[in-house]
Amino acid sequence: MAANSRCSAAEPPDLETQRREVEYLLRDCELRAGDSWFMVDQRWYEQWKELVESGDQNSSCPGQIDNTELFEEVCSNHLKERLVENEDFVLVPAAAWHKLLSWYGMVDQQPPLERKVVDLPSTLKVEVYPVEIFLCLHGNMENVTTAQFSRTDSIHSIQMAMCRAFSLLPTCECRLWMKSSENNCERLRNVHMSVLDACLSSGMTVIMETRNADGTWPSTRPLILRNSVEEQDSYRGQPGVCGLTNLGNTCFMNSALQCLSNTPPLTEYFLQSIYLEELNFSNPLGMKGEIAEAYADVIKQMWSGHHYSVVPRVFKTKVGHFASQFLGYQQHDSQELLSFLLDGLHEDLNRVKNKEYIELRDAEGRPDQEVAEEAWRNHKRRNDSVIVDTFHGLFKSTLICPQCHKVSVTFDPFCYLSIPLPVSKERVMEVFFISLDPYAKPMQHRVLVPKAGKVLDLCLALSEMTQVPETQMVVADVFKHRFYKIYTPDESLSCILDRDDIFVYECSAQSDQQVLLALYLRERAHYREYGSVSTTLFGHPLLLSVPRSSCSPEALYQIFLQRLARYVRAPNPSGELEEDDDDDDEEELYKSQTNGISDDDEQDDAEPTCSSQSEACYADGPANSRHQDPIAPSEVHIRPPPPEEGDVHSMCTGAPKPLCSGDAGPSDGHVHARGEESRADVDEEGNDEAENEEEPPQSDAIAEDDGKQEEACSPSSPVNERAAKTRTCRRKKRLFDIQAVNCNGLERETGPNLTLSSQPYVALDWDAEIKKRFYNENEAEKYVKHSSMDVPLQQTTVQLQECIQLFTTVETLEEENPWYCPVCKKHQLATKKLDLWSLPEVLIIHLKRFSYTKFTREKLDTIVDFPLRNLDFSGCLLRKKLSNGEPPSRYDLIAVSNHYGGLRDGHYTSYACNKDNGQWYYFDDSKVTYATEEQIMTNAAYVLFYHRQDKMRKPCVAAPSPSSAICTTSSTSTASSMQPPEADVSAVTPSCASAFAELTMETD
C-alpha cells in the first residue's frame, strides 16, 4: 500500500459522486440474512460525510479508514465491549464498504470488520459481536486456539476450522463436544445445526475427538474397554468375530446385535460411515440420531479386529433411554429388541425429513400390481432409509366380511415375518410317582396329557401305568425340599411348567377319617438356643394320609419312621440312641403344648380301610416287614444298653419339642395326660411290641381307641405318668422330633388353632449327628425310570415352509380384534388371509415360539427344519412376471438368534456367518467359538436371518484353516438340546489350540 498517503488507494471520484453513490447504496439496502455488512469508526465516517457534503475539497480529508478506536487491542482483533451503533461505529452494506475501501484504503494491519446479518428469532440484525470460541483437541487440551463464528455458522464450519487449525484431514471421523462449564460437556451431534441453535456462546470451548483405529472414541474409551486397553495393540482378529459382554441379563440384546452385525448390507452402511450423512436429528419418531450413532459405535468396534469382546454399555443405555421397557436388566425377548432397534434405526436414519400425510386407499377392485406399487410408493414417501432398503417387504392382506362379503385388499409393509408354529393339542409330562410302599423308589414316568387338560387328566394317565386309582393320587410341585404347590384335581395343567418337578403321591383312599399330612425333613443347625432353632430343609417332602385317630406324636413317629424306612435306618432296639437327658428346659417346653391333631371325638373311629396293598405295610411293624433289615446282628452299638430296661419305658418324654400339630400355645394348658400323650412317651424302638404283643404301636394300635392305647402302651397310669414327666430321667432319644410348620417349612406362629380341614404341614427335625448316622442320603435320592421313559421323546419337527404356509392360511379374526366393515358399518369377525407380495434383501423370520393365548402360555420346543441354503419363495410370492422375468426369491441363511430355556427365564445366543470369510461362528455373550453348519438347526432357533442370493457377495478372505474347523467338529456338544454347544478345548490339536484360546478369550 502506498504508505499512509492522506487519501485514497485508487483515485476517488469527485466528492459529489462519492456522496451520491454511497447514499444510493445505503438507501436501497435492507437487512437480508446472510449478507455482509461492515463496521466503520463513527468519527472517520462523520469526517468523510462532512467532506462530501460540504463539497469543499479543502475540508480535511478523513484519510485511510481507521477503526483503531473500536479495538480493545488491535493485535488481537478483539473489539471493545459495549460499542454502540451510530455512536461508536456505523454499519455500511458490503457494496458501500467496498467503494469506501477502494477510495480511501485502510490503515495497515487492520482487518476489515465484516459482520453478517443473522436471522435471530423474530428479528434480523447485523451481528456486531460474533461468538468467540476456544478450540482444542481431546488429546491435547492445553493447546487452545480462539476463533470467531457467526451465530448462523454451522457446527460443520467449526469442524472444518478445527481441522485446518490442527492439521487434520477434513475427512477424518470426529465428534465435537461443547464445554460450557467445568463439568458440563455436551455432544454437538448435528453438524448441520447453527452455532445459535446449538447454544454455543462466547467463552465456551469446543473439543474435538477423532475415532480410534479400534472403533472406539477417546472420550468413551474407559467405559467401553475396561479391562482390555492392552489388547488393542496386540489383537488383530477377524473383523466381526467379536463377543459382546453381558451387562446382566443382556444376552437377548447381544444375540440380536450379533445377528444384525452379521447382516452385510447394514454393517457396510455403518462401516463406510454413510450413516453420518443420513442422521435425522429432527424426526419426532426417531431418537435424534442417538440410537444410530450408538449402534454405529458398537459395529465399528466389533469390526475393527481389535477386540475379543466389546462392552455395549453406551448402546444399552441409549436403548433403555428411548424404550423404557429395556431400561432395567431383567430378561427380555431378542425379537422384541430387534423390532424396536430396526424401528429406531429406521427413524434415526430416515431420509424423509418431513412426513406428509397420505391417505391410504383400498384396492376397490384395482389390479394387485397397481395397488401394491401405490402402497410401496406411499410407504417410501414417508419411510426411506437403509432399513427400508434392506429389510422391508410387502404383504397383501385380504379381509372378507362374513355378512356382506365385502372384500378389502390392502398391501402393508413388514420388517420381519412372524411365523406361527403348529401347536400340538397334547403334551408330554415327566413326573415322579411315589408309591405308598415305603420301600419302593420314586419312579419317573413320561405321560401324554391333553394340553388344555386338568391335573385329573395327569392322574388318569398315570393311573393307567401304575394301576393305582386316580382318586388316590395327590399331585404336587416340589421345589427346594418343600411343596411349592399342592394341586387339586380340577386345576389346569397349564399351571405346570415343563421344568417344574412334579411328584405324584399315592395316598390311601381319602375319607373323613383320614388327614393328609405334608411331611418335611429338616436338619437342625449346630448352634441352638432356647426357643429359636435354626433349621434347613433337606431330602424329598412326602404326602401321606394318616388316620385322624392316630395323630398322637408317638403314633405319628412310628408312621413316619415306617414311611421313611427305605432310607432311614431304625435304631437298634438295645438302646443305640439312648442318652442321658438333663435338659429340663426342653421337657418343659414339651409339657406346655398339647400334642396331637386327633380330636377326642374321633375315639370311636372305625378301623381304617386297608384298601391298598401298600396300606398293609403300615400294619406291619418294622421288624415284621419283609423289606426290613432293622437291626443287623453285626451292628456296632454305639452306646451300651441302658442299665435298667425299665427306664426305656419311663414316662419321660423322648422328644424335646414333639409338637405334633400345634393346636395350642403354652397358654392352652392341656397338660393332663391324654391317651395321645401317653403314647408319645412310649419309646420308639418297638420294644413294646415285644412286651405288649397284643398292641404293636403301628396301625393296629392306631385303630384302637385311646383308652386301650394308653393301657397298651403305658405301663403306668396317667397320674404316674404326669409325675414321671416332670422328673429328670434317662430316656431314649428319637431320630427326629415332630414339629408343626407352615407350608414353607418354617415354624408356625402359635396362634389360631390348626383346623383339620387345612393342610397340615409337619417337619421332622433331625440333629445333624443323628441324621448322619441314620439317614441314608444316597438311598433317599435314588429313583427308577419307568419304561415309558425309554421311548424316545418324539420331537415334533416341522418344515419352515409348513410354518410359512400356516402364516398364509385363511383365519377368522378373534372376538377381541374384529374388523370394521365399511359396508355393514359395524365390526365383523372377518376372514383374513395374508400373502407375500414382495420380499426384502434380508428377510427376518421370527418363529413364534412363545405362544400366549387367553388360556395358555407356553414355549414351543418344536424343531423347525429350516434350510441353510436355497430357501425358495418363488412358489408363494404373489408378485410375478417382472419385465425382466421372475423376481429373485432364493435365500441363504446368514444368522440365527437362539433361545434356550422356558417361558420364565432362558438364555440367548446366536449363530452367524461372517461376511468376510464365510465361516459360521457361535456367539454366546463375550464368548465366540467356531460353529459348523450341522450345529445350527436346533429347537432353540428363534429368529432367522436370510440374505437373498442375488445380493450376496463372495467372501473376500479365506475361511479359517481346516485344522481350526476341527476345533468344533470334535466338540462334545452336550447331549441335551437345552445346552448350547461348547467346544471341547481338550480335543483341540496343539496347532489350533492357541487360535482357539484367542478366539474364546473373554474380556469381562
Q: Report the nearest approach of Zn ion to the CB of residue 816 (Å).
A: 19
Enter the C-alpha cell of residue 941: 432357533
Q: Report the nearest approach of Zn ion to the CB of residue 404 (Å).
A: 3
Smallest Cα–Cα separation from 417: which of 514, 516, 342, 357?
Answer: 342
Smallest Cα–Cα separation from 470: which of 484, 451, 449, 439?
Answer: 449
CA distances from 1004 to 248, 290, 295, 303, 604 (A): 12, 26, 20, 19, 71
Q: Report the nearest approach of Zn ion to the CB of residue 835 (Å).
A: 21
Smallest Cα–Cα separation from 652: which of 575, 729, 717?
Answer: 729
Cα separation, 542 vs 560, in Å, equals: 10
Enter the C-alpha cell of residue 760: 397340615
For residue 639, the cross-strand partners are: none
Q: Report the nearest approach of Zn ion to the CB of residue 405 (Å).
A: 7
Out of 136, 174, 242, 251, the active site residue is 251
Contact residues for 782 (Cβ-Cβ < 8 A; gap 6+): 441, 442
Contact residues for 633 (Cβ-Cβ < 8 A; gap 6+): none
Output the residue with the shortest Cβ distance to Zn ion: 401
Contact residues for 364 (Cβ-Cβ < 8 A; gap 6+): none
Q: Which is nearer to Zn ion, 402 or 489 (CB)?
A: 402
Is there a contact between 247 and 313 (Cβ–Cβ < 8 Å)? yes
Q: Which is nearer to Zn ion, 327 or 823 (CB)?
A: 823
Chain contacts with Zn ion (rule: CB under 5 A)? 401, 403-404, 406, 821, 823-824
DSSP conformational letter for 44? H
Size of the chain, expressed as the number of residues it contains? 1004
Cα separation, 872 vs 949, in Å, equals: 10
Q: Which is nearer to Zn ion, 279 or 821 (CB)?
A: 821
Q: Which is nearer to Zn ion, 403 or 961 (CB)?
A: 403
The DSSP result for 105-154, as a single string, is: -B-TTPPP-EEEEEEETTEEEE-SS-EEEEEEETTEEEEEEEEEE-TTSB
Q: Report the nearest approach of Zn ion to the CB of residue 823 (Å).
A: 4
Q: Report the nearest approach of Zn ion to the CB of residue 825 (Å).
A: 8
Helix count and strand count (H, E) for the chain: 30, 43
Q: Report the nearest approach of Zn ion to the CB of residue 402 (Å).
A: 8
Q: Which is nearer to Zn ion, 401 or 521 (CB)?
A: 401
DSSP conformational letter for 42? H
Helix (H) or strand (E) holding 596: none
Contact residues for 634 (Cβ-Cβ < 8 A; gap 6+): none
Q: Report the nearest approach of Zn ion to the CB of residue 370 (Å).
A: 24
Out of 907, 913, 967, 992, the active site residue is 907
Q: Which is nearer to Zn ion, 82 or 825 (CB)?
A: 825
Cα separation, 5 vs 2, in Å, equals: 6
Smallest Cα–Cα separation from 849: which of 414, 337, 416, 420?
Answer: 420
Q: Which is nearer to Zn ion, 159 or 828 (CB)?
A: 828
Q: Report the nearest approach of Zn ion to the CB of residue 817 (Å).
A: 16
Enter the C-alpha cell of residue 14: 469527485
Q: Which is nearer to Zn ion, 360 or 404 (CB)?
A: 404
* N-terminal to C-terminal alpha carbon distance within the chain: 69
Phi, psi angle pair for 397, to nearest 5°:
-125, 125
Chain centroid to CA 760: 39
507: annotated active-site residue: no
Q: Report the nearest approach of Zn ion to the CB of residue 371 (Å).
A: 20
251: annotated active-site residue: yes
Cα separation, 739 vs 741, in Å, equals: 6
For residue 185, the cross-strand partners are: 179
Q: Which is nearer to Zn ion, 793 or 824 (CB)?
A: 824
CA distances from 253 to 222, 314, 691, 938 (A): 22, 13, 73, 20
Q: Which is nearer to Zn ion, 360 or 823 (CB)?
A: 823
Q: What are the residue numbers of the active site?
A: 251, 907
